[in-house]
Amino acid sequence: MIAGISRRGGRSASVAGRKERRVFAVCSALGALAVLSAGLAPSASAADGQSQQWYLSAMKADEMWNVSTGKGVKVAVVDTGVNANTPSLKGQVLVGEVPEAVGYKATEDYDGHGTSMAELIAGTGAQGGLKGLAPGAKIVPYRIGMKDMKDGSEKEKAPPLTDVIRAIADSDAKIISMSFTEDIQRPEILAAIKYAYSKGKLMVAGTGNDAAEKNFIGYPAAYPYVVGVAASDESGKVGKFSEHGNYVDLAAPGLDVPTWCDETFRSYCVGVGTSMATAITSASAALIWSAHPDWTANQVLASLIETAGRDWAKDDPSTYLGYGLIRPRKVLEDSNFNPGAAGTDPLAKENVRGVTGVGTDNSPSPSASTSSQPPKNTSGGQTSAAGSSSDSSDDNTTMWVALGAAAAVLVIGGGAFAVVRSRRGA
């Protein structure tokens, strides 16, 4: 059995402070790949990790699993390694499919982070472990060098991210999940990403966790053809830490989500990070792709964008939540869903335009009713997103509706959806 779950508390908790400072520090280091989870603060224990996975009921996972579990879809998890022997991941990790040239210690997770992401995607939930949103999917693990690796020689032995991405591009894994970031753009990585896109891969990455201190452009999320994911809470509000800019494409649960506390794999902690949002988005894509195996990566992404929860016009994406909060259920419940043309890139406008930069001004952003549009990189304070949307309907008014009375409800087109956002502009 899992030893227990510890709830991550606020910044005042000593353990939270140490862990959070460490992670935020590495996220700010120039050119350093860093994982995107923060705020580990043990307090009261709970029965198991699943009891803290609020988003499973909120997203109606049980109903989605009646249609799809992600079976037949392989997700490449590029991270700190994946421990294939946790109860929840036994039989879920395809170790033999990692090419030897880029497989250095792929199943030795020195931090617990990569294993957590794998469980959030495809965990079986065995013995109280985390239940993945796509429990029928399989994980292909890749370990890359991270800033906080204690052993410098291990970091040097880890395969370059460029080689890893190209290896995945040449494999039959459909989705590349990347819960890490750095604040510089590297031409060789961009070239590898373009190659992976040409091979039909769907790439997902977290936007970063430093917005509360210094909002910066986070790569690989900001590269063309990579889906940049922000983190939101139960009410649909973006986390204050979640990086914002015109490279944010979607948002997903990333607050109060359980992960392994550390590399000992003895207990789970509940915390925050765009890492978790990335994994949950990757799992959502796996559910859809499993249900529609003939769709392309473009179509899977288009379906997530089309059904995302938002109360603003689809052609006016937010710099904080992008096209909205993921709702894969809305795709799965419609067997006749039209995902658009197979060869049409749903992010073509963003990919052509590129990232224009990220501002650090914390002045309030214009409201949705403001006629003048700020540059898409403008930051802002809290702005109510109340009001109706022309593409909303009575049947499409909530993103998360839990099965019980204690449901976390996100009302699209109503005052209950108060988010930090600004309009990207033309």
Residue 223 to residue 285: CA distance in whole angstroms: 19
In contact, 139 and 177? CB cutoff 8 Å:
no
Among the listed residues 37, 171, 232, 275, the single catalytic one is 275
Among the listed residues 6, 68, 113, 284, the single catalytic one is 113
Q: Is 113 a catalytic residue?
A: yes
Residue matched to tokens 């005042």: 12
Secondary structure (3-state) at 302: helix
Integer CA distances (angstroms), 369 to 112, 206, 250, 321, 423, in order: 44, 29, 22, 17, 10
Residue 364 to residue 185: CA distance in whole angstroms: 29
Return all residues near 404 (Cβ < 8 A) that are at least 6 apart: 57
Residue 78 to residue 28: CA distance in whole angstroms: 20
Among the listed residues 6, 68, 79, 88, the single catalytic one is 79
Residue 287 backbone phi and psi in degrees, to 5: -60, -45
Residue 356 to residue 400: CA distance in whole angstroms: 32
Residue 130, classified by CB atoms within 10 Å of its CB into exposed (0-12), middle (13-18) or buried (19+), is buried
Annotated catalytic residues are: 79, 113, 275
